[in-house]
Amino acid sequence: MLDAMHSDTERCVRAVQSRDARFDGWFFTAVVTTGVYCRPSCPVAPPKPVNMRFYPSSAAAQQAGFRACKRCRPDATPGSPQWNERADLVGRAMRLIADGVVDNGGVTALATRLGYSVRQVERQLRAELGAGPLALARAQRAQTARILIETTPLTMTDVSVAAGFGSLRAFNETVREIFALSPTELRQRTAKRTRATPGGLSVRLPFRAPLCPDNLFGHLAATGIPGVEEWRDGAYRRTLRLPNGHGIVALRPLPDHIRCDLSLADLRDLPVAIARCRRLLDLDADPTAVDDQLSTDPALAPLIAKNPGRRVPRTVDGPELAVRAVLGQQVSTQAARTHASRLVQAHGEEIEDTEGGLTHLFPTPEALADLDPESLALPRSRRRTLIALVEALTTTPLDLTPGADWEAARERLHALPGFGPWTVETIAMRALGDPDAFIPTDLGIKAAAESLDLPTSPRALTEHATAWRPWRSYATQYLWATSTHPINHLPA
């Protein structure tokens, strides 16, 4: 099983000896003779198998006393695809840790969000990942510190605070322990090949190749809400609501990485902003596993061979996506954008964007709590659906965060008036991140099925699609791509 790959010594050794980049992030290789840990694709000569040790996380390797390799920078690999595929306790916990829950509220906050005791969470994470939530959050803070050291002119005191360390001493000790360099030495080592973006940060977001940017960025641009999102100079830009303030991000697809330019009101939000951008673009997916399975269907194989590596365009905010899904019920993409834009102008928080045309943050559920239904240019039934959603998000909190229980969220959504399979599965696919969400009633899916000689009735198509599991969200992207809709193409 891939979810226990670090325990399959023979397979790990083969991956390291072939420098197979597909397994970067799946496991980490520690070398007992040098005291470093690496990604599988490290360019240095592979060590002897007898000297290799394998760990499921960088935090586990660090706890075992190994430091990060200076050549392959294992702390900068794509994350394990498990944490976007799994709906169990460990998968949910990892998504919440990446979203800053431990840094902002401690392990108690993490356990509360998951609905388990602190002891249960600690035990399960240690059993699977070799490290508890504090160690996993510490590894994330170390990576944030490295980014700030290498890409900004901030003082080390400011870097320490921004990365979430409790003291300058803890910051210095952690950087030395993990990178075998002092913060100053780390900055000097990279000074000639990195630069800061005026007023912000420029970060490289790695991914597993291949990646098809067409539907990913095309979808985000074509459905973008004016004032909240825009396509400008070859980049998708949008506003972000973060724990300590707001931010603006520009994401630009490049051949071997995504360039991420961030402007943050509070630098402490950097790790959360990066995690949300990675989630938005589905960058931790394993396209080889997805495409290999979907290609076994003769109807999908030509689509995959033509443009492999399609990702699922997701979201930076679950409640935002849910509101937008309701506004998009039974209307065109342009009409949905118009409805959302009116909502933003009336209830969104204004921000300033000196680099482009962004003007607002999308309104929170709390900001919509006093919404007057009569002010909405929507059918009466749609107004009732939107108000019911807002009430569910505010009074009896409906969890649509990265750590949500997918099936529990589906049950809550189905119980709301006006929430049918199309709306629920759209939210499951893009807000909850379920890789196996499927929308057989979608008009685009029906048209694609007909053109590919697949069954067109929802029941028959769902039965046929069982062979695509657990990747039906990705199959949906390939089916949608058979149309000429703007969501399938990068803007000019």
Low-confidence ranges of the chain (pLDDT < 50): 1-3, 193-198
Q: Give residue 35's region: left, alpha or beta (phi > 0; psi -120 to 50).
A: left
In a shared domain, residues 64 and 160:
no
Q: How far apart are CA 481 and CA 466, in angstroms?
A: 20
Residue 391: inside a domain: no
Ordered DSSP codes for 74-133:
GGGSPPPTHHHH--SHHHHHHHHHHTTHHHHHHHHHHHHHHTS-HHHHHHHHHHHHSS-H
Do 52 and 87 reside in the same domain of the chain?
no
Do 88 and 172 belong to one domain? yes
Catalytic residues: 38, 442
Domain at 171, CATH number: 1.10.10.60
Residue 45 lies in a domain: yes
Do residues 96 and 123 both lie within one domain? yes
pLDDT tens track for 146-185: 888 887 888 999 899 888 898 999 999 999 999 989 999 9
For residue 7, the domain's CATH number is 3.40.10.10
**418 within domain boundaries:** no
Give the pLDDT confidence of 287-346 residue by residue, as tens digits: 999 999 999 999 999 999 999 999 999 999 999 999 999 999 989 999 999 999 999 999
- 297 within some domain: no
Q: Which of 76, 99, 120 is the last residue of a domain?
A: 76
Q: Clarify whether residues 21 and 101 are in a common domain.
A: no
7 occurs within a structural domain: yes
Q: Is the same domain home to 63 and 126?
A: no
Q: What is the pLDDT of residue 1?
A: 36
Last residue of a domain, one of 139, 172, 190: 190
CB burial of 34-54 (b: ≥16 within 10 Å; e: otherwise) equals eebbbbbbbeeebbeeeebbb
Domain assignment present for residue 113? The answer is yes
Number of domains observed in the structure of the chain: 2
Q: 148, 145, 149, 127: which is closest to 137 by C-alpha?
A: 145
> Which of 215, 271, 262 has the alpha carbon at shortest distance from 243?
271
Q: Judge if 86 and 177 occupy the same domain.
A: yes
Give the model's pLDDT for residue 191: 61
Same-domain pairing of 57 and 127: no
| Amino acid present at 399 | D
Residues 137 and 181 in one domain: yes
Domain range for 44: 2-76
Nearest CA to 310 among 322, 300, 321, 320? 300
Q: Is the CB of residue 258 less than 8 Å from the CB of residue 283? A: yes
| Chosen domain end from 76, 109, 139 | 76
Whether 22 and 63 share a structural domain: yes
- CA proximity to 181, closest of 350, 294, 298, 68: 68
- Partnered with residue 349 across adjacent β-strands are 361
pLDDT of residue 73: 85
Per the CB < 8 A criterion, the answer to whether 480 and 215 are in contact is yes
Together in a domain, 71 and 87: no
pTM metric for this prediction:
0.91
pLDDT score for 4: 62
Residues 165 and 179 in one domain: yes
Residue 46 forms part of a structural domain: yes
Q: Is residue 299 part of a domain?
A: no
Residues 109, 102 contacting (CB under 8 angstroms)? yes
Q: Which of 236, 204, 233, 235 shows the shortest CA–CA distance to 223?
A: 236
